[in-house]
């Protein structure tokens, strides 16, 4: 078991997390009056500082609150990551345990996350900690509207049907601000 500390992510840690994910908005979105996410980092003890004398961050967990019509308030873990050379030393367990404590203290009754189907180690990890595999159990499939599709959807131009006309848009139906038809593509 690795002797590391799990503590809230600070602005100065964003750089360390940038090594793992390329999200430039991390700094703006996570701090300030209305944080969009919550992040905890796993940090090695001070005696294991790097060459530059800085404490080493070997993993993190990033989550946000969501709402389920069935379950109420819940936590969605967007990312749980431990650097490959530090895996199998219970760091992932400690990060997720910390997220579970945080979830309960905030009145959540569920913690959700998704993992690629081919990631056997990660799936085993989650099941070993007591979670249910909803794909295996109930056949759930995950859907994303990526930005392009999201824009088309919002503009009503993804509509199927006879005319392709978006429903309920009132005057100027199916036209963008230049009067071009947005239907049929
Ligand atoms: C998922 C991840 C965070 C786990 O981190 P970790 O620090 O290695 O996890 P831990 O050491 O706390 O736990 C590993 C434990 O999972 C369990 N486990 C792993 N694979 C298992 C399997 N196939 N069957 C049963 N249990 C399994 C074991 O209990 C194992 O501990 P042990 O072998 O020491 O008893 C890490 O693998 C990772 O960063 N993966 C890449 C990122 C990712 O895909 N994340 C998706 C979200 S899970």
From first to last of its 185 residues, what are the pLDDT tens digits of the chain? 778 999 998 888 877 776 666 556 777 778 888 888 899 999 999 888 888 888 899 999 999 999 988 889 999 999 999 999 999 999 999 999 999 999 999 999 999 999 999 999 999 999 999 999 999 999 999 999 999 999 999 998 877 654 444 454 444 444 444 434 443 33
Q: What does the pLDDT read at residue 35?
A: 87
Kind and range of the H or E run holding 60: strand 57-68
Q: Identify the residue whose tokens are 């569920």.
A: 110
Would you say the CB of residue 128 lies under 6 angstroms from ligand 1?
Answer: yes
* 24 close to 76: Cβ distance less than 8 angstroms: no
Would you say the CB of residue 121 lies under 6 angstroms from ligand 1?
Answer: yes
Q: Which CATH architecture has domain 5-134?
A: 3-Layer(aba) Sandwich (3.40)
Kindly report the pTM of this predicted structure: 0.79
Q: Which residues are within 8 A (CB) of 62 and not within 5 positions of it... i.e. 6 or more apart?
A: 37, 38, 39, 77, 78, 79, 80
Helices of type H across 77-166: 91-105, 120-128, 134-138, 147-155
Q: What does the pLDDT read at residue 1?
A: 77
CA 87 – ligand 1 centroid, Å: 7
CB-based burial, 101-125: b 16+ in 10 Å, e otherwise: ebbeeeebeebbbebeeeeeeebeb
Q: Which residues are within 8 A (CB) of 106 and not within 5 positions of it... i.e. 6 or more apart?
A: 65, 73, 75
* 134 close to 142: Cβ distance less than 8 angstroms: no
* Tokens of residue 83, six digits: 């650097």
Counting other chains too, the contacts that 87-94 makes at CB distance below 8 Å and 24 or more residues apart are: 87/121, 89/1, 89/2, 90/1, 90/2, 91/2, 91/4, 91/42, 91/58, 91/59, 92/59, 92/125, 93/125, 93/129, 94/4, 94/6, 94/42
Closest approach atom of ligand 1 to CA 89 = 11
Would you say the CB of residue 125 lies under 6 angstroms from ligand 1?
Answer: yes
Residue of 59, 125, 131 best suited for mutating to test ligand 1, as the one with most atoms within 8 Å of CB: 125
Report the distance separating Cα 174 and Cα 176, nearest Å: 7
User: What residue's CA is closest to ligand 1, atom 9?
Assistant: 92
Report the distance separating Cα 57 and Cα 55, nearest Å: 7
Residue of 92, 114, 119 best suited for mutating to test ligand 1, as the one with most atoms within 8 Å of CB: 92
């Amino acid at each position: 078991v690795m002797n590391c500390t799990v503590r809230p992510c600070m602005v100065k840690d964003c750089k360390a997390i940038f090594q793992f994910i390329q999200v430039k908005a991390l700094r703006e979105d996570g701090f300030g009056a209305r944080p969009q996410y919550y992040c905890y980092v796993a940090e090695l003890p001070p005696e294991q500082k790097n060459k530059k004398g800085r404490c080493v961050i070997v993993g993190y967990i990033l989550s946000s609150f969501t709402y389920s019509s069935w379950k109420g308030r819940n936590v969605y873990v967007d990312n749980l990551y431990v650097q490959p050379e530090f895996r199998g030393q219970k760091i992932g367990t400690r990060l997720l345990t910390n997220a579970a404590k945080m979830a309960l203290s905030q009145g959540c009754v569920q913690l959700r996350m998704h993992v690629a189907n081919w990631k056997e180690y990660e799936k085993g990890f989650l099941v070993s900690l007591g979670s249910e595999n909803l794909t295996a159990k109930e056949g759930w499939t995950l859907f994303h509207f990526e930005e392009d599709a999201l824009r088309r959807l919002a503009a009503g131009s993804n509509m199927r049907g006879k005319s392709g006309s978006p429903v309920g848009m009132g005057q100027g139906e199916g036209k963008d601000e230049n009067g071009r038809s947005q239907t049929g593509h």
